[in-house]
Chains A and B, each alone.
Chain A
Amino acid sequence: MTIKEIYKNMSYGPAPESASAANDFLEAHNKTFNLYINGQWKKPLSGKYFDSINPATKEKLANIAEANDADIDAAVAAAKKALPKWTAIGGHQRARYLYALARQIQKHSRLFAVLESMDNGKPIRETRDIDIPLVARHFYHHAGWAQLRDEALKDYKEIGVIGQIIPWNFPLLMMAWKIAPAIAMGNTVVLKPAEFTSLTALLFAEICDQIGLPKGVVNIVTGDGKTGAAIVEHKDIQKIAFTGSTEVGKIIRRATAGSGKKLSLELGGKSPFIVFDDADLDSVVEGVVDAIWFNQGQVCCAGSRLLVQESVAEKLYKKIRARMERLRVGNSLDKSIDIGAIVAPVQLKVIEELVKQGVDEGATLWQPSWACPKDGYFYPPSLFTDVSPSSTVAQVEIFGPVLVAMSFRTHKEAVKLANNTRYGLAASLWTENINLALDIAPQIKAGTVWINCTNVFDAASGFGGYRESGFGREGGKEGLFEYLKPKIEDTFSDKPITHNKGKITGKKAKADKKTDKLNGVLTGIDRTTKMYIGGKQARPDGGYSTVIEGADGTAIGEVSTGNRKDIRNAVEAAHANSSWNGKTGHSKAQVLYYLAENLVIRRDEFANRLVQMTLQSKVEALKEVDIAIDRIYTYAAHADKYDGNVHHTTHRNVTLAMPESVGVIGIICPDESPLLGFISTVIPAITMGNHVIVIPSETAPFSATDFYQILETSDVPGGTINIVTGPKEELASVLAKHDDVDAIWYFGSAKGSENIELLSADNMKRTWVNYGKYRDWRDKQQAEGTTFLQHATEIKNIWIPYGA
């Protein structure tokens, strides 16, 4: 086109970013990449390589090694060997290495950006202006945490060898999110990039070499799902960090169940993008562009469900369509495009099929008038209207540039629609009314809520999901705990710890023997121990009771035999009343102090019960009651003090990291320490606003059932604490399989722990189990404190940009 022609039509021309340096890098490796293990490039023992393709041109970029089990063994061995020294060099030395990595990434930022853009198909603007700067920022930020760990987190230590598996949508950024906190905290890593996008991780391996990172601290092994499985199953790996699909996340949860491997999973989403009628609609349109047409919509936290207040819906749709018409799709290295290529044909096919399904189900599809280029895997920006929550496209994660739009009438309905999903990764809400924004943000089930912005990230802020979007946080102080463990865990025992004088000889009686056994016991007025559900004493659904034997083997009473329906009722009761959750820290504290006060009054009675159920002396039993009172005080004290942070993130932005209650928690109490085991678990959970279903000690349930009388007299709203007695493992399984339970805490055997983790995978419950390692419930260090509160909360980051 001549200048004169362009002068007339004012068109855009091609504006290609040069690929020459990236091509030089590929050539320098003869377009073949091996495994980076123990600081060396090693040929894969599998002998196999697979292709890496540029999805914007369909050209092959390189051969990538495929690691097999033996390769993973070698990588894990290298990481294990490197661990002691890496830990021993201390925070400051590690900080220096992380700082060097950050600097080196900045120095080669354009090479990383171009290579990433070629490998993934995303626009060079995004890799250059967003991905790579965030990568450098992540290493800088965590260099700081390395420096500060020994002082700021002195009760914690590194976990060990970490296996990390990352997705293809933000290859280098996800690598940074994984590696930076892991090595900063003193761990060593084996990381597998996604098979579509290995190249920038391999370039990063070179950088590790250049700065002289000790061998084996970072190992990069390439491969597909099989390689990932080998990492997940490796016995010498102490933690798996995974970002990817919910489907694979569940597989990993099941595969690692009971292994004691720590797990953080950052999974899929169908994040709501909520627009209220007072929002700045033109800015909303740009928000939508950033939400769903960023990275071709291949973003786990993409704002893919547009929820608009009915009064402005049509106006907004019109503006969005006009904006879509101006979006440009093309080669990822073109500096004048908005949308690049879909990562691979298989992903393109998924998008095409889901869009077709949306159309078939009656939703209205709108796409711009222009056509996508044909030389790569492209898909046009797409908008579905006339969508209802029951449409497939409104429920499933499309992972493409496809937006579905629905309208709402009221604020309440907006929240309901927003939460009408299995996912809970992020949300974006748009209003100029701060009252409305701060009212809605806490009601959305999502780890990140962006107010009047979207897809904004920073290393100082934690990112992660609720519900089936996974668990754990990446970034911020909250993210560090994913790569640390409390030092105190090393002191846990292999056997239950009691303070009994001897061994309990009695064994649990069978229900059918109860008549004989009870002969002579019920000398006074018959006392019925019921369950406690929804603030009321409840008879068991099955109509059975179980005899409980005392320490000396004689029957001391009967307890209701709970079944799955009692669990169902308890979960419903826990959801029915939200008044406890809505209380201020101060009023929760008052109720907790009142609980303690009432327990003091009945100190002697509770001690006698303990003597009856265990082999404790009265003196020891009184001690247990006194510690329980002390413990309630601790959490009453925390009720208005365990709070959040304001993170230093982007310019003019208040980023609130708020600990929120997890929701409904199932708590399976330890069998030992009947009273303290109950108090030490239930009280921290409710202190943070959770509602709980408690299964007390199976062998010694009466401390818990006696306690409901205290609950009744202490202003604890009904439904806050629900107690179901009966067969522990059976009831625990019902809880673990219940989809309306958000988390489960289990204190029991290794086998029971495994069962809980396995069954919880289906709805991605947060689990906290003891793997058959036992606390001394009397020991403040082991059985009390912020670890309990951490498990009782999830951190929600609320981003509030400001400026008049």
Chain B
Amino acid sequence: MAKTKQKKGVSKPATLPRNEGMPFDATIFEGININRSAVERRAATMGKRRSVKKQWQAAWLLKAVSCIDLTTLAGDDTRSNVSRLCAKAQSPVRQDLLKAMDMADAGLTVGAVCVYHNLIRDAVDALTQSNIPIAAVSTGFPAGQIGLEEKLKQIELSVAAGAKEIDIVVSRALVLNSDWQGLYNEVAACRKACGDAHIKTILATGEIPTYTKVAKASWVSMMAGSDFIKTSTGKESVNATIPVSLVMIRAIREYHELTGYKVGFKPAGGIRKAKQALNWLILMKEELGDDWLNPDLFRFGASSLLGDIERQLEHHVTGRYSASYRHPMA
């Protein structure tokens, strides 16, 4: 596997070549068979085969922070809580802790701020002093039950409002009915509508009945030019899991081998603990390699994860178990 030479600074805009996609070709993925039990066995042992302790744990947790899409996706989101979220995004870990770890000058921020369309403006206003990208969920998020024209319109409006990343949801019906050409067309159209904004395609894996279909949907999404593929909206009953992530990132690996394009991965929903974050980082390192341990190619969709990481970092620095009130809230 060719190693990219670019050094990726923290929260710098990606310099990686974007995935330009490829013409739809079902023969590439129609033979895919994913064995659920074997995938789950690998997933279950993944976190048991590797362990990061002491300064390694601290460094890995800081890396996890840099990969977080700090998210709020609630009906009662307003300018005030989004502003607070943005402030936290720019200064995710207490300065004294960073200093103790000799990381105060590392320019640590989260990977992005993720909001609904209506809040993009507020986020833009709050993030003037940083280049943290704003991600907007789009295309009838979370269910995607609107027409394609409306979806494209939403994307255009969000990009115009200042979103640099668009998290789209796929039409589940296309996946359930194995209408892969239809799915390709939909994602490709969204990609086009995004323009320079990066597109993260949410498969909503909790609503896809088999891992084989998850793998195929991953392939189609990548062929259609997705910059990232993402597990879930966070609103399904089952969201990001390690096994489903394993299936998706193996597809990313094969796509990279075939096309040379590196597609990013974003697990979202249910990732609340530092330990979980480490498991995902181990998964990325083991299955895809170190290039995928950066915000260019890896994000967590999470809202409460950061709080747990902060407490673990304080424990690393002080040796005392921390309390959440000791860390500034988002």
Contact = CB atoms under 8 A, between A and B. Distances in A.
A474 B231 CA distance: 44
A206 to B, nearest CB: 28
B283 to A, nearest CB: 12
Nearest to A334: B51
Interface stretch (A7-15, A95-103, A266-274, A530-538): A7-15
B285 A10 contact: yes
B103 A3 contact: yes
Given A10-B293, A336-B49, A4 B37 contact: no
B55 A2 contact: yes
A190 to B, nearest CB: 36
A3 B37 contact: no
Contacts of A801: 35, 37-38
A15 B59 contact: no
B49 A803 contact: no
A255 interface: no
Interface string B270-297: 0000000000010001100010010000
B34 interface: yes
A7 B33 contact: no
B63 A7 contact: yes
Nearest to A123: B49
B168 to A, nearest CB: 27
B42 interface: yes
Most buried by A among B38, B209, B286: B38
Contact of B41 (A6, A322, A453): A453
B55 A1 contact: yes
Contacts of B49: 125, 336, 338
Interface in B1-39: 1, 31, 33-39
B278 to A, nearest CB: 11
Given A280-B34, A286-B41, A7 B62 contact: yes
Contact of A283 (B35, B56, B102, B209): B35
A10 B33 contact: no
Interface in B26-82: 31, 33-42, 45, 48-56, 58-60, 62-63
A280 B38 contact: yes
B41 to A, nearest CB: 7
Size bracket, chain B contacts: 35 or more
B38 A287 contact: yes
Contacts of B31: 278
A3 B35 contact: no
A326 B290 CA distance: 11
Nearest to A7: B59
Interface string B291-328: 00100000000000000000000000000000000000
A608 B210 CA distance: 71
Nearest to B33: A432
Interface of B: 1, 31, 33-42, 45, 48-56, 58-60, 62-63, 101-103, 106, 209-210, 250, 281, 285-286, 290, 293
A804 interface: yes
Contacts of A4: 59, 102-103, 106
A706 B168 CA distance: 83
Interface of A: 1-7, 9-15, 125, 129, 278-280, 282-284, 286-287, 290, 322, 326, 335-336, 338, 430, 432, 452-453, 652-653, 801-804
A803 B36 contact: yes
Given A125-B49, A336-B52, A802-B37, 7 more contacts: A4-B103, A7-B59, A12-B56, A125-B48, A278-B33, A286-B42, A335-B50
A750 to B, nearest CB: 51
Contacts of A802: 37
A164 to B, nearest CB: 31
B212 to A, nearest CB: 8
B258 to A, nearest CB: 12
A646 B55 CA distance: 49
A283 B42 contact: yes
Most buried by B among A4, A15, A282, A432: A282
A335 B34 CA distance: 29
A4 B53 CA distance: 15
B93 to A, nearest CB: 12
Most buried by B among A3, A432, A452, A801: A3
Contact of B56 (A11, A286, A326, A338): A11
B36 A13 contact: no
Given A280-B34, A453-B37, A15 B106 contact: no
A282 B1 contact: no
Contacts of B103: 3-4, 7
Nearest to B54: A13
Given A7-B106, A10-B290, A129 B48 contact: yes
B106 to A, nearest CB: 7
Contact of A15 (B52, B102, B286, B293): B52
A326 B38 contact: no
